[in-house]
């Protein structure tokens, strides 16, 4: 849980210099960069530049000296540069058109010692040219292009990443304001968000706090710092967050998790710190991190580039969350559709410990969402939003908004004055066609099965003595795997469970499978998760809790199997006969309880039909309506109960009679 601790050292204050390091070198030195380019170019040009003068051959130059046409000579390592006499200059100008006749230049022949003698003899003034160590060596030929290439490279890197120097305080452009969207008032209210009643109720407290922080803090109370909105895409999480800000009339800092993830190390982290600083100045306010999973992925997973950056950003967020006090009036909201991949450190107490589910809307919710989105649309008299809502099972808020818009466009294209029912129908078909590919939409047949399955759970829960109270039955799919659900909430915290309670739990879990079985005479894959839990409970009853008379009061828990108690080769520390007996006991428990479940359902088969029909129409069954159904559930009478004794006689083979020969 606390694996963030070992990362802390990264965040010591001096890491600040680390993250401004590379960027300030590049950006703060914009002028240096220019100067260096110019200098480099200058050096290169100077080296490659041909010295001025009329180029002649060495022998010709010597001849000219011989003939007294040369006034003076400068000698360098490689060149002989001669200044001709005036007469010679005039002569030469006649014969050639070269403008550079003032000096003659020849490449020196090295071993010619006779040149100096000749100059002495002819009385020509000569001097040697001083050369710097660099010039003439090849150092600059190599260095200048390298410097230029490096500068060009860093320049392009900066451009590509699109963010060089963003935290350099010296160059004040691109501070966090540029990315973090600050809205003084979002103007969105809860009226614009339809359907997610439970989420709204939970957010009510946050709004009240933002409005009147004193009221809460007066008594030293702590308001949650971080609230995480969890739900499938398009269900209105972003919208809800904005509505909270709108309702509370506070500023709204909006940024997306992916904004944080930048390629340059440390910049994301710096931005987080910056953001919190700004927010504190604006308190009370809301910081909203959309798509939290983009930064909040579990650390140490995945190895692609930029991971380091993400971890640092995440660390910074964690540290900031620890460092600020909700009493300062800053509330952190975040949204994700993949809570399961979030780093556990983010979810622990004091951080995003409050989760609010934003589920797919049920039929009533969809109707309300349609109402919200048809507010600005001219709707025909024949349009019945409740029918549309019934036809759009599985759609979320954004799909419905999209469908309404599509319908309006269709009607306009058809030259109508108002949007009519057939426009809506066509629009829904279009949106559905797009949806079918990307999300699960149940066929009518599947919905029928799910409706009976969930009703089965609910009825068995109502019939057995010890099951938790059923609060809600739903066939609105919940993303990951579950096509529907029956929500049972315990009346009190449980630390111990009795054998009868465990039996009732198993019966209830088998209710879904049982209902499918008796209604359709066939069973579906939908019960696999139920069966997994059933098997798990039954196994533990036999192996760990000593609830089987046959196996007795022993605890052969899994731990023993896997760890030191197990024999080499992974065999558990009990005999093969015991293993077989355990298997039989588990099987016996489950089969006995299944027979009981089926009996319960058969006894309540009319109710089962009614409940499933109601669910198919309304998708959700809760509140008083649920009560009225549950009140009608008839438990089994004592004489109807199946034999629940867990003890089954072992499948004992009669000991083989001794073979005569032995
Ligand atoms: P999420 O953030 O959950 O992916 P959004 O909040 O971005 O979804 O929703 C996208 C759009 O869908 C919203 O702008 C809004 O028009 C519409 N929408 C989604 N849910 C609702 C809702 N419950 N009520 C009204 N409109 C909704
Ligand atoms: Mg969103
Ligand atoms: Zn089930």
CB within 8 A of 616, min separation 6: which ones?
A: 447, 448, 451, 475
Q: Ligand 2 center to residue 233 CA distance, Å?
A: 7
Q: What is the number of the ligand 1 atom nearest to the C-alpha of 240? A: 6
Rounded to the nearest whole angstrom, what is the distance from the C-alpha of residue 601 to the centroid of ligand 3? 14
Reported as type and span, the H/E element at residue 57 is none
d(CA 326, CA 279): 12
Instruction: Beginning with the edge strand found earlier in the chain, give each strand of the sheet holding 354-357 in spatial order.
Output: 181-183, 252-256, 285-290, 330-336, 226-230, 354-357
Residue 613's pLDDT band, with cuts at 50, 70 and 90, is: very high
Non-local (6+) Cβ contacts of 10 within 8 A are 312, 315
Same domain assignment for residues 593 and 608: yes
The answer on pLDDT for 351 being more than 60 is yes
Q: Which whole number is the average pLDDT over 188-213?
A: 87
Mutate to test the pocket of ligand 1, among 242, 397, 439 (most ligand atoms within 8 A of CB): 397
Taking CA atoms only, the protein residue closest to ligand 1 atom 12 is: 398
Counting atoms of ligand 1 from 1, which one is nearest the CA of 361? Answer: 23
Once rounded to an integer, what is the mean pLDDT over residues 458-475?
A: 91
Domain contains 164: no
CA distance 162 to 426: 44
Report whether pLDDT(61) > 50: yes
Count structural domains, the chain. Answer: 4
204 with 236, same domain? Answer: yes
* β-pairing verdict for 54-55 and 104-107: parallel
Domain shared by 426 and 459, yes or no: no
- Helix and strand element counts for the chain (H, E): 25, 14
* DSSP symbol at 219: T
286 beta partners: 252, 331
Do 353 and 367 lie in a common domain? no
- If pLDDT is split at 50, 70 and 90, which confidence band does 10 have? very low
Q: Mark whether 334 and 392 lie in a shared domain.
A: no
> In this structure, are 571 and 642 located in the same domain?
yes
Residues with CB under 5 A from ligand 2 (ion): 238
Q: Are residues 285 and 239 in the same domain?
A: yes
Quick check: 103 pLDDT over 50? yes
Kindly give the distance from the C-alpha atom of residue 233 to the centroid of ligand 3, in angstroms, as a whole number: 25
State residue 95's pLDDT score.
Answer: 74
- Residue range 31-44: mean pLDDT, rounded: 69
Average pLDDT over residues 511-537: 92
Distance 195 CA to ligand 3 centre (A): 25
Tell me the range of 98-102, 206-210, 452-456 where mean pLDDT is highest. 452-456
pLDDT band at 633 (very low <50, low <70, confident <90, very high): very high
pLDDT of residue 649: 43
pLDDT: which is higher, 385 or 305: 385
Domain end point (choices 381, 406, 432): 432
Segment 327-352 mean pLDDT: 82
Task: Look at residue 623 and tell me whether its pLDDT is greater than 70.
Answer: yes
Determine the pLDDT at residue 654. 39
Residue 549 has a pLDDT of: 83
Whole-number pLDDT of residue 162 = 46
Contact 107, 62 (CB under 8 A): no
Which ligand is located closest to the Cα atom of residue 289? 2
Which ligand 1 atom sits closest to the C-alpha of 358?
A: 3
Mean pLDDT over 338-349 rounds to 80
pLDDT at 198: 86
CA distances from 136 to 43, 93, 106, 310, 563 (A): 12, 32, 17, 51, 77
Q: Do strands 330-336 and 226-230 pair parallel, antiparallel, or not at all (unpaired)? A: parallel
β-bridge mates for residue 285, sequence order: 330
Q: What was the pLDDT predicted at 13?
A: 34
Domain membership flag for residue 41: no
Task: List the residue whose alpha carbon is closest to atom 27 of ligand 1.
Answer: 397
State the CATH number of the domain containing residue 347. Answer: 3.40.50.300
Q: Is the per-residue pLDDT at 132 higher than 80?
A: no
Among 299, 330, 357, identify where a domain stops: 357
Task: Give the mean model confidence (pLDDT) for residues 128-141.
Answer: 62
Predicted confidence (pLDDT) at residue 544 exceeds the cutoff of 80? yes
Per-residue pLDDT averaged across 542-561, rounded? 79
Q: Which of 290-299, 441-450, 496-505 has the lowest mean pLDDT?
A: 290-299
Percent of the chain with pLDDT over 90: 22
**pLDDT at site 480:** 46
Q: Which of 446, 516, 530, 527 is nearest to 488 (CA)?
A: 530
3-class DSSP assignment, residue 61? helix
Kindly give the number of the ligand 1 atom that is closest to the alpha carbon of 229. 3
DSSP assignment of 98-166: -S-TTSEEEEPPTT-THHHHHHHHHT-EEEEPP--SSTTSSHHHHHHHHHHHHHHHHHHHHHHHT-TTT
User: What value does the mean pLDDT take over residues 43-60?
Assistant: 70
pTM: 0.55
Kindly tell me the sign of the dihedral angle through the C-alpha atoms of 105, 111, 114, 119.
Answer: positive
What band does 266 get if pLDDT is binned at 50, 70 and 90? low
Confidence of residue 561 (pLDDT cuts 50, 70, 90): very low
- Which residue minimizes the CA distance to atom 11 of ligand 1? 398
Residue 62 lies in a domain: yes
- Residue at a domain's end among 380, 399, 432: 432
Which is more confidently placed, 20 or 226? 226
pLDDT > 90? residue 337: no
- Choose which residue among 236, 243, 289, 374 to substitute to test ligand 1 binding: the one with the highest number of ligand atoms within 8 A of its C-beta: 236
- List residues near ligand 1 (CB under 6 A): 193-196, 231, 233-239, 335, 369, 372, 397-398, 401
CA 458 / ligand 3 centre spacing (Å): 10
Of all protein residues, whose CA lies closest to atom 14 belonging to ligand 1?
239
Same domain, 57 and 187: no
Tell me the pLDDT tens digit for each residue of 294-333.
Answer: 777 765 554 444 566 667 777 777 787 777 766 677 888 9
* Gyration radius of the chain over CA positions: 42
How many A from CA of 132 to the centre of ligand 1? Answer: 73
**176 in Cβ contact with 269 (< 8 Å):** no
Q: How confident is the model at residue 212 (pLDDT cuts 50, 70, 90)?
A: confident
Residue 624's alpha-carbon distances to 253, 470, 472, in angstroms, are 41, 12, 11
Terminal Cα distance for the chain, rounded: 64
What single-letter DSSP state applies at residue 469?
E
- Please indicate, yes or no, if residue 125 is contained in any of the structural domains: yes
Task: Confirm if 499 and 589 have CB atoms less than 8 A apart.
Answer: no
Note whether 472 and 569 are same-domain residues.
yes
Q: Give, for ligand 1, the residue of 398, 402, 431 to mutate: max count of ligand atoms closer than 8 Å to Cβ.
A: 398
The DSSP symbol for 472 reads E
CB count, 10 Å around CB of 163?
19
Q: Picking from 7-16, 183-192, 254-263, 278-287, which range would have the lowest pLDDT averaged per residue?
A: 7-16
Per-residue b or e along 88-114, where b marks 16 or more CB atoms closer than 10 Å to that residue's CB: bbeebeeeeeeeebebbbbebeeeeee
pLDDT value at residue 503? 92
Give me the phi and psi of 472, to 5 degrees please: -160, 140
CATH code of residue 397: 1.10.8.60
CATH number for position 63: 3.30.720.210
User: Which residues are identified as catalytic?
Assistant: 454
616 with 509, same domain: the answer is yes
User: Rounded to whole angstroms, how far apart are CA atoms 71 and 54?
Assistant: 15
Element housing 544 (H / E): none
Q: What is the mean pLDDT of residues 512-523?
A: 94
Q: Higher confidence at residue 493 or residue 433?
A: 433
Percent of the chain with pLDDT over 70: 74
C-alpha angle with apex 574: 573 to 578, nearest 5 degrees?
A: 160
d(CA 589, CA 582): 11
Indicate which CATH number applies to the domain containing 485.
Answer: 1.20.58.760
Residue 7 lies in a domain: no
Up-side HSE of residue 303: CA atoms within 13 Å toward CB? 0
Task: Say if 385 falls within a structural domain.
Answer: yes
Look at 353 and 646; give whichever has higher pLDDT: 353
Band of pLDDT at residue 276, cut at 50, 70 and 90 = confident
The pLDDT, as a whole number, for residue 131 is 62
pLDDT over 50 at 425, yes or no: yes
Q: Please tell me whether residues 117 and 193 are part of one structural domain.
A: no
Average pLDDT, stretch 216-228?
75
Asked if the structure places residue 166 within a domain, the reply is no
350 occurs within a structural domain: yes
Q: How far is the CA of 609 from the centre of ligand 1 (A)?
A: 35
Q: What is the pLDDT of residue 400?
A: 93
Question: Worst-scoring range by mean pLDDT, 163-177, 471-485, 514-528, 534-548?
Answer: 163-177
Residue 139, pLDDT score:
67
Q: How confident is the model at residue 11 (pLDDT cuts 50, 70, 90)?
A: very low
Mean confidence (pLDDT) of the chain: 77
- The band of 627, judged by pLDDT with boundaries at 50, 70 and 90, is very high
Range of the domain at 300: 179-357
Residue 269 above 90 pLDDT?
no
Average pLDDT over residues 17-44: 56
Give the Cα separation of 17 and 2 in Å (integer): 27
181, 196, 234: residue to mutate for ligand 1 pocket, most atoms within 8 A of CB: 234
> Does one domain contain both 413 and 526?
no
Confidence grade of residue 518 (pLDDT, cut at 50, 70, 90): very high
């Amino acid at each position: 849980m606390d694996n963030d601790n070992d990362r802390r050292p990264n965040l010591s204050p001096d890491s600040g210099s680390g993250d401004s390091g590379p960027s300030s070198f590049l950006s703060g030195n914009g002028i240096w960069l220019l100067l260096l380019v110019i200098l480099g170019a200058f050096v290169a040009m100077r080296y490659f530049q041909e010295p001025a003068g009329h180029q002649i051959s060495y022998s010709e130059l010597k001849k000219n000296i011989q003939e007294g046409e040369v006034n003076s000579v400068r000698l360098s390592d490689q060149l002989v540069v001669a200044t001709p006499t005036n007469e010679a200059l005039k002569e030469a100008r006649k014969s050639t058109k070269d403008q550079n006749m003032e000096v003659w230049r020849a490449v020196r022949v090295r071993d010619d010692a006779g040149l100096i003698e000749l100059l002495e003899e002819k009385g020509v003034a000569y001097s040697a040219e001083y050369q710097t160590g660099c010039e003439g060596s090849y150092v600059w030929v190599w260095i200048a292009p390298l410097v230029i290439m490096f500068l060009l490279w860093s320049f392009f890197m900066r451009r590509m990443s699109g963010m060089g120097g963003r935290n350099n305080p010296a160059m004040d452009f691109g501070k966090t304001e540029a990315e973090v969207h600050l809205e003084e008032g979002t103007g969105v209210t809860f009226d614009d968000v339809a359907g997610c009643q439970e989420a709204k109720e939970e957010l009510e407290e946050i709004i009240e706090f933002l409005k009147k922080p004193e009221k809460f803090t007066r008594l030293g109370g702590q308001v949650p710092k971080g609230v995480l909105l969890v739900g499938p895409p398009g269900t209105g999480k972003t919208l809800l967050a904005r509505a909270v800000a709108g309702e509370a009339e506070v500023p709204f800092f909006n940024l997306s998790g992916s904004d944080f993830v930048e390629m340059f190390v440390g910049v994301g982290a710096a931005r987080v710190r910056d953001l919190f600083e700004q927010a504190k100045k604006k308190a009370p306010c809301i910081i909203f991190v959309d798509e939290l999973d983009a930064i909040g992925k579990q650390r140490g997973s995945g190895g692609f580039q930029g991971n380091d950056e993400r971890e640092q950003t995440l660390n910074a967020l964690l540290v900031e969350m620890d460092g600020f006090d909700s009493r300062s009036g800053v509330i952190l909201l975040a949204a994700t559709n993949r809570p399961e991949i979030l780093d556990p450190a983010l979810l622990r107490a004091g951080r995003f410990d409050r989760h609010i589910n934003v589920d797919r809307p049920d039929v009533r919710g969809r109707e309300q969402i349609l109402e919200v989105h048809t507010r600005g649309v001219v709707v025909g008299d024949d349009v019945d939003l409740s029918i549309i809502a019934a036809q759009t099972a599985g759609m979320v808020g954004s799909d419905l908004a999209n469908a309404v818009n599509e319908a309006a466009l269709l009607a306009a294209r058809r030259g109508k004055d108002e949007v009519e029912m057939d426009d809506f129908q066509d629009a829904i078909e279009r949106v559905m066609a797009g949806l079918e590919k990307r999300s699960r939409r149940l066929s009518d047949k599947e919905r029928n099965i799910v409706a009976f399955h969930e009703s089965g759970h609910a009825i068995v829960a109502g019939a057995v003595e010890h099951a938790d109270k059923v609060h809600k039955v739903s066939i609105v799919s919940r993303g990951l795997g579950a096509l529907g659900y029956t929500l049972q909430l315990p009346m009190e915290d449980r630390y111990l469970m009795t054998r009868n309670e465990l039996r009732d739990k198993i019966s209830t879990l088998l209710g879904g499978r049982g209902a499918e079985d008796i209604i359709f005479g066939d069973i579906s894959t939908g019960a696999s998760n139920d069966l997994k839990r059933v098997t798990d409970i039954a196994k533990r009853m036999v192996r760990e809790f000593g609830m089987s008379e046959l196996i007795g009061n022993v605890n052969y828990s899994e731990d023993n199997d896997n760890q030191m108690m197990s024999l080499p080769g992974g065999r558990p520390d009990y005999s093969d006969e015991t293993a077989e007996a355990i298997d039989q006991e588990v099987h016996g428990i489950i089969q006995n309880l299944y027979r009981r479940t089926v009996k319960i359902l058969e006894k309540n088969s009319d109710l089962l039909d009614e409940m499933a029909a109601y669910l198919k129409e309304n998708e959700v069954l809760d509140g008083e309506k649920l009560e009225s159904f549950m009140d009608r559930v008839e438990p089994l009478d004592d004489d109807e109960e199946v034999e629940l004794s867990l003890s089954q006689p072992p499948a004992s083979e009669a000991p083989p009679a001794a073979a005569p020969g032995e």
